[in-house]
Amino acid sequence: INAEYGERAGGSEGHLPEGYRVNAPILLPVSGVEPRSTSKASNFCFNWTYGDLKPEPIKTLCGRVDNINELATPSRLCKKALFQTFLDTYQKLRGDAMKGLTYRECKDAAVGYGEAKAALITAFKEGGYGYWVHKPDDLSSFAL
């Protein structure tokens, strides 16, 4: 898998804007060779990071936190929560330049990121590795 990933993404390395590079994550081999059956997949997944008091259980069908006595709430890893964290961090480092912008407007303002993503998509297409899956634009047009 490591070689395959590096081969697919490696073709974009020479076309990336300054300051960007292709990172090859260290992937460990699986212990079983049997294909994974999605019909047997768990109804829950968990995420946690350093400093969290406990893992966050997520219902895999809806992506929401499963609280026993509460309504299901969005995960701390949902797009809205991550966007809020980005805005908070950006404001601390660079001020209010992104205040009031939608998620899409903030992504579009990251010109280098857009160029790097385009180079990666082109490398995938030219290498015969398939196409980048695009989500509908209305899913990115939210503001906080």
Segment 113-137, tens digit of pLDDT: 899 889 888 888 888 888 888 888 8
Segment 2-60, tens digit of pLDDT: 455 555 555 556 677 888 887 777 777 766 667 766 667 778 888 888 888 989 888 87
**How much is the pTM?**
0.69
Give me the DSSP letters along 70-127.
S--EE-TTSHHHHHHHHHHHHHHHH-STTTT--HHHHHHH-HHHHHHHHHHHHHHHHT
Place of tokens 């993404």: 9
